[in-house]
């Protein structure tokens, strides 16, 4: 039996998902990791496959931005696809060499994975000739429950499937899903099934073992981290504190971040890092949690590895916001060699990480 690492990642910004796949593909090609299945959930995102028809995006960019959608071109197959909260996204990073080198058989196995998982919740899903994905017959006609878009390079797989559990189906109004205009989209919830997220993931892992002749092992996060968006009122509106890392730590602008110690809560870590890195000592109730924790892989610049093959380092980050009085200035530690207070919209061009950009956009909206 082949080993299959399974990582349940929770929320992942789409660009971070691409970075995870790129690092895993490199590590898998060099034999540093076994086959891996990433199970996660993206914020509202539209992706275009190779040769996608851009007219299948029905909303303009301004409307998409207001609604919180990101848009990405990808190297997967297929047309335009939606990802969002309540949708399980799976990225299998499998080496099909030497005995599984059959593209159609692999795509069929991904379809079968979703069909079997749906059946576990008493939903009869099926294939439809000429259309990729899985479909359910409803009173409204056939509706797509799960989409597929894969990429293979040197028999290594990436991208994968999207399975609607409790997805807000009105978000699909932004596109012609997968370029199919004469059929709808459904979810377990729209079919009357109330499915708990962990149980759905359990069933996908169980069926992946059987279909891919593998033995699954759950892999925990390598790191638990925090980030704090420190905001103060400035002359022209709210300003966000950015810290500049010293050259040996990457030489880029960032929010305040830190690594949680063993058995340390996210809140305690945030207070400790604030004091150590900025000299600020807020009260616990001054910290405001910013949504669900998100997952990412450490940038190779942070690891000092460049393009060298390596095992990806997966982190789970909890985000906070902190408002400080006007005129507040930080006292920097040796980790940073400069700081700036910048307008929130300017921060979007300076922050390199998707989740931190999303946090800045959320603060800008609230401001």
Q: What is the DSSP letter of 129?
A: T
**Catalytic residue flag (residue 178):** yes
Alpha carbons 267 and 284: distance in angstroms, whole number: 7
3-state secondary structure of 184: strand
What residue has token string 């076994």? Answer: 34
Put residue 357 in one of left, alpha, beta given phi > 0 → left and psi -120 to 50 → alpha.
alpha
Which listed residue (80, 162, 178, 297) is catalytic?
A: 178
The C-alpha R_g of the chain, in whole angstroms, comes to 22
Measured from the Cβ of residue 29, the count of other Cβ atoms closer than 10 Å reads 15
Alpha carbons 9 and 11: distance in angstroms, whole number: 6
Are the CB atoms for 274 and 281 separated by under 8 Å?
Answer: yes
Structure tokens at 140: 């409204």
* Residues that are catalytic: 178
């Amino acid at each position: 039996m082949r080993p299959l690492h399974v990582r349940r990642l929770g929320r992942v910004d789409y660009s971070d998902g691409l970075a995870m796949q790129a690092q895993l593909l490199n590590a898998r090609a060099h034999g540093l990791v076994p086959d891996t299945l990433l199970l996660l959930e993206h914020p509202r995102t539209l992706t275009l496959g190779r040769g996608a028809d851009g007219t299948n995006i029905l909303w303009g960019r301004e409307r998409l931005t207001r609604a919180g959608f990101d848009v990405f071109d990808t190297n997967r197959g297929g047309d335009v696809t939606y990802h969002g909260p309540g949708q399980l996204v799976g990225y299998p990073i499998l080496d099909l060499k030497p005995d599984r080198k059959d593209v159609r058989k692999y795509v069929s196995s991904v379809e079968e994975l979703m069909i079997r998982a749906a059946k576990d919740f008493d939903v009869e899903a099926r294939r439809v000739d000429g259309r990729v994905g899985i479909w359910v017959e409803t009173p409204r006609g056939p509706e797509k429950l799960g989409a597929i878009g894969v990429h293979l390079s040197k028999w290594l797989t990436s991208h994968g499937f999207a399975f609607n559990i409790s997805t807000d189906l009105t978000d699909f109004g932004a596109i012609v899903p997968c370029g199919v205009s004469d059929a709808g989209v459904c979810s377990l919830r729209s079919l009357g099934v109330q499915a708990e997220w962990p149980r759905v993931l359990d069933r996908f892992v169980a069926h992946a073992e059987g279909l891919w002749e593998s033995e699954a092992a759950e892999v925990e996060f390598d790191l638990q981290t925090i980030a704090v968006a420190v905001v103060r009122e400035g002359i022209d509106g709210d300003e966000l504190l950015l810290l500049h890392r010293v050259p040996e730590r990457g030489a880029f602008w960032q929010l305040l971040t830190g690594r949680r110690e063993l058995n340390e809560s996210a809140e305690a870590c945030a207070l400790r890092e604030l004091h150590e890195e900025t000299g600020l000592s807020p009260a616990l109730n001054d910290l405001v949690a910013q949504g669900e924790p998100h997952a990412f892989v450490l940038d190779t610049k942070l690891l000092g590895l460049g393009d060298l093959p390596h095992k990806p380092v997966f982190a789970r980050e909890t985000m906070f916001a902190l408002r400080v009085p006007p005129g507040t200035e930080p006292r920097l530690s040796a980790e940073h060699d400069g700081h700036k207070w910048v307008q929130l919209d300017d921060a979007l061009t300076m922050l390199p990480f998707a989740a931190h950009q999303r946090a800045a956009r959320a603060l800008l909206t609230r401001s």
